[in-house]
Amino acid sequence: MIPSVTVGGVRVRFSLLFPAMLALLCSWKQGELTAWCLLAAVMHECGHLIVLLLLRHRPQEIRFSAFGMCLLLENTPLRFRHHLLVSLGGPLVNLLAAGTLLLCGGNADLIGIHLLLGCFNLLPIWPLDGGQCLPAGKVRTVLSTVCLTVLSVLSILLIFAGNISLCVVCLYLWSRLYDNG
């Protein structure tokens, strides 16, 4: 971990892979598209944070990693209903942004980015937002495994089209599924 900073009493930490991923994304030849993807991801994560704050909970720490942001709460655990609302806050922001852009005649790429990010995170795969909406236990693990298997097959097909990004995401999700699921 890179040394942390404290903002408003909340510790903010960055993994070593976070700046590496940012550098990799910024070096990608589709620079403008990358910037819009990063903005959509920041909006998504802010959606979680806003719902958490609206429910009068305070994060103790915010961790940024190569694959997103993690909110660590103070000692008081969220009730399941609050956890559900916080989990859905990120995808809701993306879906609302896509709808707003669509109604205002926005750029099709931006609409697609928000739709893809919102819908992908609603998949019932732990640790995605949709997977976090499921109660812990065997049902969540089995459903996550089935959905991730289908997604992995799709990612292998995309490799033949020259795109390995979904494969990298699937490897990450597989590593987290049995680690925390």
Domains of the chain by residue range: 1-122, 124-181
Q: For 39-92, how does the pLDDT look when each residue is reduced to its tens digit (9 = 90+)?
A: 898 899 899 999 999 999 888 888 888 777 788 887 778 888 999 999 999 999
29 in helix, strand or coil? coil
Euclidean distance between CA atoms 37 and 107, whole angstroms: 13
**Residue 129: how many CB atoms within 10 A of its CB?**
24
So what's the pLDDT on residue 181?
47
Euclidean distance between CA atoms 79 and 33, whole angstroms: 38
Rounded (5°) CA angle 114-91-43: 65
So what's the pLDDT on residue 19?
83
So what's the pLDDT on residue 91?
96
Euclidean distance between CA atoms 50 and 104, whole angstroms: 24
* Regions in the chain scoring below 50 on pLDDT: 181
Q: Which residues of 59-96 are buried (b: 16+ CB within 10 A; e: fewer)?
A: beebbbbbbbbbbeeeeeeeeeeebbbbbbbbbbbbbe
Q: 10-14 and 59-65: which strand pairing? A: parallel
Euclidean distance between CA atoms 28 and 132, whole angstroms: 31
Q: Render 32-78 in DSSP notation, one character per residue.
A: HHHHHHHHHHHHHHHHHHHHHHHTT--EEEEEEETTEEEEEE-SSPP
